[in-house]
Structure formats: structure tokens, C-alpha cells
């Protein structure tokens, strides 16, 4: 495993981290609890020491499962535990943004209890809350850091302007935006900002919700509460365009590196400026097997140009991850 030290925090993180969106019964549908625990423990034993979760994943269930996995692993000091705050939900499961100091105080205690720990290594604001000044949220989090309940502060889905306001009140170690070969909107602003300010990017959606796994076909369907039912990329004619790109990238990876598209996609991501960690989603231990094939090599400028050409030729109607955003309080 490759590692990088964050500039604004006393944390060293692996280049691949485990994201638990699927483990809490959110995004891909329900999952078996023991299998989820086994997957987390397997990741930690492989050196994937950053575990990223959030209260809203499964409405608390994901954090509870992560807590059980940490207890089973037994070496809390070897884990970089990352969770989030700022999304509340009602009895019907309707989610709203809330990054008020009062909400933060409630959330930190709930998360510590569910996770079975006395501190969180990286505490991240899940989405910017337009109803609360960013400086106010930052000051509340800085208070928690000084109390020892968190080690470092992060944000997710923030713009450079929003990060500037946050940084006026507290040190900012990381930003967690969506970023992968197919969703590259942050390259216009967020990525150069983070690289310039020494803010580590923890990229989520590294495999674009499975599109870049190389395991999908046009016959694939999505049921129940699977988020991909609402993702425009998984609807025709875009779905066929993206799958054609995957096929071409697979051929390139095999010809030039003897790798698969899943390895190429993750290597591309962690070779990007400012990216500290790419978050990998897995529901079974065996799905972690490709991780070793991502380490120990890099893509060169010729590869990057060839990859861009493939995408431009295949995906004529690209679309971003905007569909995932919860309602913004500032717009109401």
C-alpha cells in the first residue's frame, strides 16, 4: 500500500480507502451485517487503514457496523476513522442539511457511540449548509478538535469559496468531492484550489458507482433503493456510451500494462494532483482483491492523453453527479 501525509493534520492516509456507502444499506441496497464486518476487517488487514462512513448511510447503521468491525479488528490506533456530519433525517427518511453548532454537538456524541470510540480521526461536513455561516460551522468543529474528540477537520462537496470561508475560522485538512474518470468537474476549480492550499482530496465515487469496474453490460438493471436507478449515466443512450468507453479503457490497460480497467481507473485517480485517497466501495472481502494491482506503478503523460482521447470519442453526452445532492437550505 502507498501512503501520504496530510499537510494540515497529523494524519497519514492510504492512497486507497474503504468507503461504506453500500455497507449501511444505502446506495446499493441492503447487505448482510457479518459480511460487511468481514469486508471492513479484511480491508484493514490489507493495509487499507482509512475507513470512511457517515451517519446518513443506512441512517446510523453503517456507523454501527463500522464500530463492530473496529472492535473485531482490535487495533483502533492503526485506523484512520473518517465520518461526517451535517445531514439530518426524519421518520420518513427525508434528508435535510443541518450544520448548526447544536446539531454538530448532537451528531458527534451519536457517532462516537455508534462507532464505539472516543475520537474520530477525520470529521467532515457532508454537504455545505447555506443556512449556517461556514465560519460558524468551522468554529464548532474546531472546538471539538481542541477537546480531543476529533483529530482533523474536513469538508465534502464544497466549492473553493466555501472552503475559503471555512478556513477563515479553522484549519482544513481535506475535501471529499466526487471525482473519477467519468466525473471530472472538480478539475476546473476544486482540484487546483486544494492542490494550491495543501488540502488533501479524498475522492469519492472512484469507480463511478461500478461503471469502471469492467463488470457491467447493457443488460444490467437496478432494483429497490439502488441509487443507480436515478443516475443518468445508467440510462440509455448514455449507458451504452459509458460502457463503450470502459471497453476501450480495458483494452488499453491490458495492452500497455497488463492490467484491467478497474486498476487503470484507480491508478489514474491517485496520480492526479492533490488526490490523497481514492475511496473504494466493497461489499465482500473478495472485492478488495484488485487493490494490490493498483500499487507500484504510475501512468505517464502519454497515457493520460490517450485516456482523454478515448473518453472524448466514446462519451459524447457526459453528465456529472449532480443528481446526488440533497436539497440546499439556501435555495428555500
CB atoms within 10 A of CB 314: 18
Provide the b/e sequence for 174-213 (b: ≥16 CB within 10 Å): bbbbbbbbbbbebeeebbebbeebebbbbbbbbbbbbbbb
Q: Catalytic residue numbers?
A: 57
C-alpha dihedral, 199 to 42 to 86 to 204, nearest 10° = 50
Q: Which residue has the cell 484549519?
A: 171
What are the DSSP calls for 24-67, one per residue? TTSSS----HHHHHHHHHHHHHTT--EEE--TTTTTTHHHHHHH
Distance (Å, whole) CA 197 – CA 157 = 16
- Evaluate the CA torsion angle 315, 268, 295, 71 in order and state its sign: negative
CB atoms within 10 A of CB 266: 26
C-alpha cell, 111:
457517532
* 221 phi, psi to nearest 5 deg: -125, 160
User: What residues contact residue 79 under an 8 Å CB cut-off, 6+ apart?
Assistant: 44, 49, 50, 51, 70, 73, 121
End-to-end, the C-alpha distance of the chain in Å comes to 45
CB atoms within 10 A of CB 37: 20
Q: For residue 328, how many C-alpha atoms fall within 13 Å in the half-sphere facing its CB?
A: 11
Amino acid at each position: 500500500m502507498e501512503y501520504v501525509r496530510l499537510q494540515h493534520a497529523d494524519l497519514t492516509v492510504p492512497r486507497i480507502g474503504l468507503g461504506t456507502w453500500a455497507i449501511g444499506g444505502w446506495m446499493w441496497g441492503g447487505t448482510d451485517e457479518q459480511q460487511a464486518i468481514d469486508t471492513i476487517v479484511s480491508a484493514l488487514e490489507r493495509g487499507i487503514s482509512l475507513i470512511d462512513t457517515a451517519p446518513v448511510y443506512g441512517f446510523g447503521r453503517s456507523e454501527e457496523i463500522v464500530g463492530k468491525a473496529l472492535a473485531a479488528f482490535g487495533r483502533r490506533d492503526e485506523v484512520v476513522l473518517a465520518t461526517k456530519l451535517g445531514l439530518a433525517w426524519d421518520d420518513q427518511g427525508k434528508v435535510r442539511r443541518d450544520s448548526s453548532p447544536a446539531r454538530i454537538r448532537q451528531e458527534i456524541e451519536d457517532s462516537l457511540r455508534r462507532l464505539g470510540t472516543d475520537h474520530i480521526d477525520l470529521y467532515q461536513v457532508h454537504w455545505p449548509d447555506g443556512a449556517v455561516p461556514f465560519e460558524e460551522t468551522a468554529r464548532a468543529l474546531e472546538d471539538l478538535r481542541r477537546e480531543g474528540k476529533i483529530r482533523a477537520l474536513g469538508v465534502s462537496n464544497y466549492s473553493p469559496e466555501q472552503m475559503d470561508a471555512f478556513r477563515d475560522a479553522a484549519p482544513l485538512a481535506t475535501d471529499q468531492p466526487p471525482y473519477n474518470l467519468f466525473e471530472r468537474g472538480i478539475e476546473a476549480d476544486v482540484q487546483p484550489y486544494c492542490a494550491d492550499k495543501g488540502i488533501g482530496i479524498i475522492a469519492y465515487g472512484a469507480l463511478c458507482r461500478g461503471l469502471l469496474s469492467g463488470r457491467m453490460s447493457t443488460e444490467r438493471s437496478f432494483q429497490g433503493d439502488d441509487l443507480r436507478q436515478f443516475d443518468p449515466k445508467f440510462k440509455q443512450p448514455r449507458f451504452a456510451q459509458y460502457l463503450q468507453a470502459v471497453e476501450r479503457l480495458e483494452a488499453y490497460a491490458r495492452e500497455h500494462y497488463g492490467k484491467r480497467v478497474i486498476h487503470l481507473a484507480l491508478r489514474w485517480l491517485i496520480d492526479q494532483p492533490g488526490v490523497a485517497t481514492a475511496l473504494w466501495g466493497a461489499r465482500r472481502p473478495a472485492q478488495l482483491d484488485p487493490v494490490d494491482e493498483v500499487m507500484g506503478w504510475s501512468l505517464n503523460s502519454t497515457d493520460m492523453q490517450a485516456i482523454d482521447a478515448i473518453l472524448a470519442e466514446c462519451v459524447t453526452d457526459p453528465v456529472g453527479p449532480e443528481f446526488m445532492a440533497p436539497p440546499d437550505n439556501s435555495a428555500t
